[in-house]
Amino acid sequence: MHESVQKLNLVENKVKEIIDKKQLKTNPQIIAVTKTWPMDEITPLLEMGHIHFGENKIQEAEQKWLDVKLKYQNLKKL
């Protein structure tokens, strides 16, 4: 399993643990902030179905995500 997927799984599990412990009625969306990440680090997250991503600068987002959005139609960029 790719390191970025392992890290996302750790975050998801920790969030779930907190929600369960506090008995919260919420379903938060985890946004992977991909500022300065190369696509080879992001692609495994896309392949596992993660769709919420954030970028810091519009120029980076346009350059990085234009072609990716065509392949992954359900992708959300924030």
Written as one letter, the residue type at 23 is: Q
Contacts of range 30-38, beta carbons closer than 8 Å, 24 or more positions apart: 31/78, 32/4, 32/8, 34/64, 35/60, 37/4
What pTM was computed for the model?
A: 0.82
In DSSP terms, 52 is beta-bridged to: 76
In angstroms, the Cα distances linking 16 to 11, 28, 47, 61 are 9, 9, 22, 29
pLDDT digits (tens, 9 = 90+) for 11-64: 999 999 999 999 999 999 999 999 889 999 999 999 999 999 998 888 888 888
Written as one letter, the residue type at 76 is: K
Number of compact structural domains in the chain: 1
Q: Which residue has the higher pLDDT, 64 or 9?
A: 9
Please give the residue range of the domain that contains residue 52: 3-77
